[in-house]
Amino acid sequence: MDATRIISAVSRRRALGTAVAGTLGVAAAAAAVLPAAQAAPVREQRTAPSGTYRIDLHAHFLPPDYRAALLEHGHLTIGGYPTPEWSPEQALEFMDYYGIQAQALSVSDPGVSFLSGKEATDMARYCNSYAAGLFRSNPGRFGAFAVLPMPDVAASVAETIYALDELHLDGVILLSAYNGVYLGDPRFEPLLAALNQRNAYVFVHPAAIPDGAKPALPLPDFLEEFTFDTTRAATMMMVTGVTQRYPNIRFQLAHAGGTLPFLSHRIGIASQTVLGQLWPQDLPRPSVLDIQRQISAFYVDTALSGSAAAMAGATAVMGRERIVFGSDWPFSALTLPQSGSHDPAPGLSDIFDADQRMEVEHHNPLRQLPRLARAVSG
């Protein structure tokens, strides 16, 4: 990344800081006056691997017509974050700077659900075809997860078949909910059956919460609400039996699984309360052990979660073999470190040594995406 790009990133970071200063100023001031004894201990960082080796499974793209449609329909921010610009050239520059060998691209919230009917199906096809074109122009650097015209299930099944069987995309991205209906709802069964039949890799990304369905807090959704919504989606998929009925689907939960690792035991005790006595007879009744088993089957990414606290929880619940690298670029452009180390997630070295980081950032992702693995090795 040249000096102009770095200066531009710093300027954007300052602009964002001005925008949220009123919201976060009190907390920052309080932290500044904490006694020295309460300061967090400094950890000795391990050395990260060197070279361009990372495989990024949480990276977004905004093809030109898609971004134009977002802005035309009033989506000036995504989850409270200003809708960024994107181009293949910018992506490659970012990847080269941060040692990323390849990215599996996906469309972020709101997917194409801000459109309807033919407009939605056409936009999904446009985005997926655009992604497939990147495979040809940049072999070994890009993969992609197909966006579907949800919540139209029939159209989404058709696009799944085309995107996976014809375009050979690496998987599918689903939002945590569509119009307030969470994954796990029976109306999504035909799509899940099609994905299960294809042993699909499914990236579950949080969706913005409607203003009328959340507290009126002066905080953007991406700070907290996104993690909560990922947790809701994963919980609903477990308690409605989706993760049991469709064992061939490999689900990746964004941002270290939201709050799921922390709540893993708490969710499982539902069957031991009065709620367990009221459980529908046509649904499997979860137990602590069963919920823990189901949670351990999820994959989670490091996007905006590259810290010892987040990774310790994910490792304890899912196991390190279920953690994959994610940058969340370009939505993370204002938060990535601009340092000479060129490490996009230096906090990972607070908990993982170099071999473990290579596992998380390279080997684990490629094990799940065979087409991309072949392209990278070729």
Domains of the chain by residue range: 54-377
Angle at 208 between CA 220 and CA 309, to 5 degrees: 65
Tell the residue number behind the tokens 């304890």, with chain if given.
316
Q: Name which of 202, 190, 138 is nearest 164 in CA terms.
A: 202
- Would you call 160 exposed, middle or buried from its count of C-beta atoms within 10 A (0-12, 13-18, 19+)? buried
**CATH class, range 54-377:** alpha beta
Find the helix packing angle between 308-317 and 260-268, rounded to 10°: 40
List beta partners, residue 100: 54
Burial pattern 221-250, b for ≥16 Cβ within 10 A else e, equals bbbebbbbbbbbbbbbbbbbbbbbebeebb
The tokens describing 142, both together, are 């890009």
- Which residue positions in the chain have pLDDT lower than 70? 1-45, 270-289, 338-339
CB hemisphere CA count around 124 (13 angstroms)? 33
C-alpha distances out from residue 84 to 62, 332, 334, Å: 8, 10, 11
For residue 81, the one-letter residue type is Y
Question: Which SS3 state, helix, strand or coil, does residue 95 take?
Answer: helix
For residue 108, the one-letter residue type is S
Please give the pLDDT value at position 268.
Answer: 78
Distance of CA 201 to the CA centre of its chain: 13
Please give the pLDDT value at position 293.
Answer: 87
Please give the pLDDT value at position 127.
Answer: 98
Please give the pLDDT value at position 41.
Answer: 46
Query: For residues 25 and 228, what is the distance between their CA atoms, to the nearest angstrom?
Result: 24
Q: Where are the beta strands (DSSP E) in the chain?
A: 54-60, 77-78, 81-82, 100-106, 142-146, 171-175, 177-178, 181-182, 201-205, 250-253, 299-301, 323-324
- Would you call 16 exposed, middle or buried from its count of C-beta atoms within 10 A (0-12, 13-18, 19+)? middle
Please give the pLDDT value at position 340.
Answer: 72
Which residues neighbour 151 within 8 Å (Cβ) at sequence distance 6 or greater? 113, 178, 179, 181, 187
What does pTM read for this prediction?
0.85
Please give the pLDDT value at position 48.
Answer: 82
CB hemisphere CA count around 348 (13 angstroms)? 32
Please give the pLDDT value at position 269.
Answer: 78
Please give the pLDDT value at position 158.
Answer: 98
Q: Name which of 219, 217, 203 is nearest 252 in CA terms.
A: 203
The tokens describing 179, both together, are 């119009």
pLDDT tens by residue, 304-329: 999 999 999 999 999 999 999 999 99
Question: Which SS3 state, helix, strand or coil, does residue 147 take?
Answer: coil
Query: For residues 110 and 205, what is the distance between their CA atoms, to the nearest angstrom?
Result: 10
Query: For residues 317 and 193, what is the distance between their CA atoms, to the nearest angstrom?
Result: 27
Please give the pLDDT value at position 44.
Answer: 55
